[in-house]
Amino acid sequence: MKTEEPDYLKNLWSENRQLQGEAFLAVMAEVRNPVDWAYDVWDEAVEQLGHKDNHNRAIAAQLLCGLAKSDPKNRLKRDFALLFAVTSDERFVTARHCLQALWKVGVVGKGQRKMLVTALEDWFVRCTEHKNCPLIRYDICESLRKVYDATGDDTIKDLALRLIATEVDDKYRKKYLTLWLTKSNR
């Protein structure tokens, strides 16, 4: 028997920031584990990725990342390009929220991991002209680290270290490496 969609989901897209924030926190707590209502909200979340309000775009991106573990039909494969596009959002804070949540996609399965890692590698290479390139690259390295920690997939570590080695600025290269060399992250 299917459980009913939680009531607070209706407030995710509210213009009342307090209601929206409370709903977001409740939903993020729920999606730490698989949920059976993922497809009840999936299409609306995908639609919200293009909403005029950057709060809605950020919430939608983070929600879809959280729902990745609740996606046995693999809809994420169909919608991944729309989700990943938010990493280039006009509002950098929105882009960062998405980028920092994407690692959750990479821990679901090998297909999702390959899709994510390919996109992250491409973005690492392409973001050089972006004014926030160091932050983007740091977030990419951190996402790769989280995927590695959750999966133990050595190809992720190898890729991250190869990407970091391409950084021409010593200061940033060292900063990215801290994600891979500190004991607290092992």
Tens-place pLDDT, residues 83-136: 999 999 999 999 999 999 999 999 999 999 999 999 999 999 999 999 999 999
Task: Retrieve residue 32's tokens.
Answer: 């730490």
Question: Do 132 and 81 fall within a single domain?
Answer: no
Rounded-to-integer distance, Cα 129 and Cα 125, Å: 10
Whole-structure pTM value:
0.92
Question: Are both 106 and 74 inside the same structural domain?
Answer: no
The boundaries of the domain holding residue 14 are 1-94
Tell me how far apart the alpha carbons of residues 3 and 35 are, in angstroms, rounded to a whole number: 9
Residues 115 and 149 in one domain: yes
d(CA 185, CA 166): 22
Residues 59 and 2 in one domain: yes
- Domain match, 85 and 132 both: no
d(CA 10, CA 41): 10
Last residue within a domain, chosen from 34, 62, 94: 94
Phi, psi for 51 (deg, rounded to 5): -65, 150
Please say which residue of 94, 110, 128 terminates a domain: 94
Report how far apart, in Å, the C-alpha atoms of 109 and of each of 18, 32, 151 are: 35, 16, 9
The H or E element containing residue 82 is helix 75-85
Q: CA dihedral defined by 14, 104, 114, 82, rounded to 10 degrees?
A: 10
Tell me the H-state helices in the chain.
Answer: 17-30, 38-48, 54-67, 75-85, 92-101, 103-106, 110-126, 133-151, 154-165, 170-181
Cβ proximity of 24 and 39 under 8 Å = no
Q: Is 4 exposed, middle or buried (0-12, 13-18, 19+ CB in 10 A)?
A: exposed
- Whether 82 and 107 map to the same domain: the answer is no
One-letter identity of residue 10: K
pLDDT value at position 130?
94
Write the CB contacts of 50 (distance below 8 Å, at least 6 apart in sequence): 57, 82
**Together in a domain, 122 and 174:** yes
For residues 65-69, average pLDDT: 98
Asked whether the predicted pLDDT for residue 144 surpasses 50, the reply is yes
- Among residues 59, 74, 94, the one where a domain terminates is 94
For residues 114 and 131, membership in a common domain is answered with yes
The count of domains in the chain is: 2
Question: In whole angstroms, what is the distance from residue 66 CA to residue 26 CA?
Answer: 12
Tokens 């570590």 belong to: 157
Residues 11 and 63 in one domain: yes
- Is residue 88 located within the same domain as residue 173? no
Assigned token pair, 22: 């409370």
Percent of the chain with pLDDT over 70: 94
Q: Mark whether 72 and 113 lie in a shared domain.
A: no
- Per-residue pLDDT band for 5 (boundaries 50, 70, 90) equals low
